[in-house]
Amino acid sequence: MNSKQSQLVLIIEGVRDRCKAQAAALTQAGYSVQSVLPDNIEQLGELLAGSRPDIVLYGRGENMPRLATVTAILAQDSVEIPVIVIAGKLTKRSVSDAERDGAAAVIQNDQLDNLLRTVRKELGSVRLHRRIDQLENRFEAIHLQNRISELESSLRENEARCLDLTDNCRNAIAYIHEGMHIYANASYCNLLGHENDDEIIGTPLLNRVDLHHNDILTKLLRNPFASHEITELKVKLVQEEAEPLEADLEFSAVKFGTKLCTQVMVRTCIEQVIHKQSPDAHIHHDMITGLYNRQYFMKVLEENIANSDNSGKFQAVTFILLDNFKEIREKIGVTASDDLIVEIAGLMREIYGEEHTIARFGDYTFTVLNNYSYKEGAEQLAETLRTRVAKHKLTVNDHTVSTTCSIGICVINDHVKDAQSAHSRADLACELARTSGGNQVHAHSTTIDAHIDQDVDEKMDDMIRKTIDDDRFYLVFQPVISLNGKAGGHYEVLLRILDEECCVVMPGQFLSMAEKSPMIMEIDRRVIQIASQTLADKLKEGGNTSLFIKLSSETIADPQLPEWIKLQLQELSLPCDAIIFEIPESVAVNKPNETLVFTKAVQAFGCRVAIEHFGYANKPDIVKGLSVDFLKIDGSLIKNLASSKDNQEKVRAIVDLARSTNTLCIAEHVDDAQCLVMLWQYNIDYIQGNLIQEPGKELTHDFEDEAALAGIIATE
């Protein structure tokens, strides 16, 4: 069904002929129309009570109700209903009065084409605001659910921690429910002469004290959360094969699982019968999995790096992240997802054993300190774990749940100075595995580390030269989405590099060296070639696709580059406006002449230009001098947008600057829904980030889908 046919336009018009003309034009355009010639305000009220229009046209006539009355009646609806006033003659006074009384727009009576355009515009605005409301409501619901999940998780961890402390407490403690023991710690069991709680659980507390206090105990245990005058009681405890023991019992109300219980703490002067354990044993372990915790792992890692004797012992840090675990938790719930975490921890114990230090590092991340006599051991065990996790199944309420993991490895060598740098390298390698599709193992490139630390230009150049000659490049693409419904698809081109061991190297690690060499221009040209060929293949399938391609400082200053680009595009029969070159703001500031020459040269034959990382240097005047086509707001201003008023002011100022210079505006690093809502309200043109889609090797994003915002914005 045509979406317009579900949109109802209500015409309130005092002249029948005008009403018919408007209704005919709207019906022909595909809208549902309902008209009324109101004799009194009651008729209008009854009509609105029967059906809710999406938009109202307010005309002229003798019996017309006042505009302010109509907008007041419509305002009683919780959903926004705009009113378009159709005036006989437009004057500043008539427009001002209509807007004061609540009109969304004012048009002249004889302009039917303008009427249709205005109706479409206002209905589009209504849909946009409704979507924003839905998005805000959904974000709030997700935020509340996440907060509830965090609190539930925190509560379980606290309960587990308290129980662990109680287990190891020197004081004898038991929990009593309906007069029966349901828990007893080791000290309590030893006090009564038992090795464990098997002979205590399920027995009445009254059987363990002398009869003189039974009535008082019964009253205390009947309702543990009621107010009692007595909270302590001197008794004689019945011990197994020993004389009764004088003791003080202290009573307090507790919850044990879902049960309301009485906690009984026994105090006695006979310390030798209390089971003694180290009070610090629990602080090194995660309460859910029993693995070591983050703090202890980093301490052990720091000690290992500081005390390394380089005697041939091979060590590495392995960082493991469970893919899509947030979605799994939302699907199966917190309790079941904790069960999955525990089972994954069990797999890690089986695979790594006691030789390696295993820790739960975060909510769904783990770390391992590997100890080997040979290098390949860490990768072999990581691959084993990856395979076992992918095959592992968890049954929850007759449903089978599974996950995969992304694993990063960092070798601890002379280039790793401390625990934080080792962890960061492993985390980076894990991120590469995740963004490459997940369910993969990546090792951090020690080759790059070695070249960085050597600081020898000749060796650096040799390594860069070999990377180029071996063609160890590939590209990934991230969609750039229009928030204004503009046709066509845009992608940003991102470079990925492989080292000699076929490990992926992040551009920042490689380009930090390459930019010191003239070979960076050769790399940029290679990227342009690969990207242009990919785009040419894509355009053969039809559609309208454009690519954003980054350029380095040295490349922009190359006077021969524009002509070379022009020839490349001509050979592939590519439309020049399908390529947008990105110039860093720092380059535009530090090399204004070179930037201006390049910009004018490529724009002359149809290519477009964007300034990326805009706003970081806070140099707004460079836009007016360059006349670029796009401004890409620096990600540091977007990441903390929701919580930083300073960032909000800067982003709004950039959007205003873009409007004043007729420049399109892009927000990058959009990774959360709350940020998206704010950008929408700022009337930003385009967004880019992992919230929409992570970078991938194919140009396959569905830009035509109404749900293009990664399923966050609901379709009509």
Cα–Cα separations (whole angstroms), residue 23 to 43, 71, 119, 630:
19, 21, 12, 42
Residue 642 pLDDT more than 90?
A: no
How much is the average pLDDT of 578-606? 91
Model confidence band, residue 429 (pLDDT cutoffs 50, 70, 90): confident
Print burial letters for 508-519: b (CB count within 10 Å at least 16), e (below 16).
Answer: ebbbebbeebeb
> Which of 133, 154, 185 is where one domain is finished?
133
Cα 304–308–310 angle (5° rounding)?
145
218 and 299 together in one domain: no
First to last CA, the chain: 12
236-250, 279-293, 295-309, 314-328: which has the minimum mean pLDDT? Answer: 279-293
User: Could you tell me if residue 100 is inside a domain?
Assistant: yes
Model confidence band, residue 272 (pLDDT cutoffs 50, 70, 90): very low
Highest mean pLDDT among 55-69, 80-94, 552-566: 552-566
192 and 287 together in one domain: no
Q: Which residues contact 390 (CB under 8 A, 6 or more apart)?
A: 402, 404, 405, 439
Residue 710 pLDDT more than 70?
A: no
Residue 299 pLDDT more than 80?
A: yes
Q: Decide if 334 contacts 153 (C-beta within 8 A).
A: yes
How much is the average pLDDT of 38-49? 67
111 and 186 together in one domain: no
- The total domain count for the chain is 4
122 and 179 together in one domain: no
User: Could you tell me if residue 562 is inside a domain?
Assistant: yes
DSSP assignment of 88-117, as one string?
Answer: SS--HHHHHHHHHTT-SEEEETT-HHHHHH
User: Could you tell me if residue 455 is inside a domain?
Assistant: no
Model confidence band, residue 453 (pLDDT cutoffs 50, 70, 90): very low
How much is the average pLDDT of 278-292? 68
Cα–Cα separations (whole angstroms), residue 511 to 270, 495, 497, 517, 649:
70, 10, 10, 10, 33
479 and 531 together in one domain: yes
Q: Decide if 116 contacts 25 (C-beta within 8 A).
A: yes
pLDDT tens digit sequence for 597-626: 999 999 999 999 999 988 877 777 787 778
Report percent pLDDT > 70 for the chain. 77
pLDDT at 571: 93
Q: Say which residue the tokens 């940020």 belong to.
A: 675
Report percent pLDDT > 90 for the chain. 15
| Residue 315 belongs to domain spanning | 282-444
Task: Show the tokens assigned to 678.
Answer: 């704010």
User: Could you tell me if residue 547 is inside a domain?
Assistant: yes
297 and 254 together in one domain: no
Taking the C-alpha atoms of residue 382 and residue 318, their distance in angstroms, rounded to an integer, is: 8
* 245 DSSP β-pair partners: 237
User: Could you tell me if residue 141 is inside a domain?
Assistant: no
DSSP state letter for 358: E
59-68, 338-347, 367-376, 694-703: which has the minimum mean pLDDT? Answer: 367-376
Higher pLDDT, 241 or 451: 241
Closest CA to 264 of 206, 210, 194, 309: 206
228 and 301 together in one domain: no
> Which of 247, 276, 305 is where one domain is finished?
276
Taking the C-alpha atoms of residue 690 and residue 669, their distance in angstroms, rounded to an integer, is: 7
Residue 395 pLDDT more than 70?
A: yes
Higher pLDDT, 356 or 163: 356
DSSP state letter for 239: P
341 and 436 together in one domain: yes
| Residue 20 amino acid letter | K
| Residue 498 amino acid letter | L
Cα 214–216–218 angle (5° rounding)?
65
Residue 230 pLDDT more than 70?
A: no
Cα 340–325–133 angle (5° rounding)?
135
Burial (0-12, 13-18, 19+ Cβ within 10 Å), 79? exposed
pLDDT at 120: 84
470 and 420 together in one domain: no
pLDDT tens digit sequence for 171-194: 788 898 888 888 888 878 888 878
Highest mean pLDDT among 77-91, 275-289, 318-332: 318-332
Give the CATH number of the domain where residue 59 resides: 3.40.50.2300
208 and 357 together in one domain: no
Cβ of 574: how many Cβ atoms within 10 Å?
A: 19
What average pLDDT does the chain have? 78
Taking the C-alpha atoms of residue 563 and residue 578, their distance in angstroms, rounded to an integer, is: 17
User: Could you tell me if residue 156 is inside a domain?
Assistant: no
* 105 DSSP β-pair partners: 84
User: Could you tell me if residue 162 is inside a domain?
Assistant: no
How much is the average pLDDT of 230-253? 77
HEC string of 312-351 equals: CCEEEEEEEEECCHHHHHHHHCHHHHHHHHHHHHHHHHHH
Q: Which helix (H) or strand (E) holds 475?
A: strand 473-482
pLDDT tens digit sequence for 351-387: 988 888 999 988 889 999 988 656 577 888 999 999 9
> Which of 86, 111, 133 is where one domain is finished?
133
514 and 367 together in one domain: no
Model confidence band, residue 513 (pLDDT cutoffs 50, 70, 90): low
pLDDT at 575: 93
pLDDT at 278: 38
Highest mean pLDDT among 31-40, 45-54, 676-685: 676-685
Cα–Cα separations (whole angstroms), residue 686 to 238, 485, 682:
77, 10, 11
pLDDT at 645: 84
DSSP H helical ranges for 436-518: 446-454, 457-469, 507-514
pLDDT tens digit sequence for 673-688: 678 778 888 889 899 8
Model confidence band, residue 568 (pLDDT cutoffs 50, 70, 90): very high
Give the rounded distance of the alpha carbon of 448 from its chain centre.
Answer: 30
Task: Show the tokens assigned to 617.
Answer: 């240097």
Cα–Cα separations (whole angstroms), residue 116 to 123, 340, 484:
11, 57, 19
Model confidence band, residue 518 (pLDDT cutoffs 50, 70, 90): low
User: Could you tell me if residue 715 is inside a domain?
Assistant: no
Give the CATH number of the domain where residue 200 resides: 3.30.450.20
422 and 563 together in one domain: no
Q: Which residues contact 257 (CB under 8 A, 6 or more apart)?
A: none
Q: Say which residue the tokens 């309590």 belong to.
A: 188
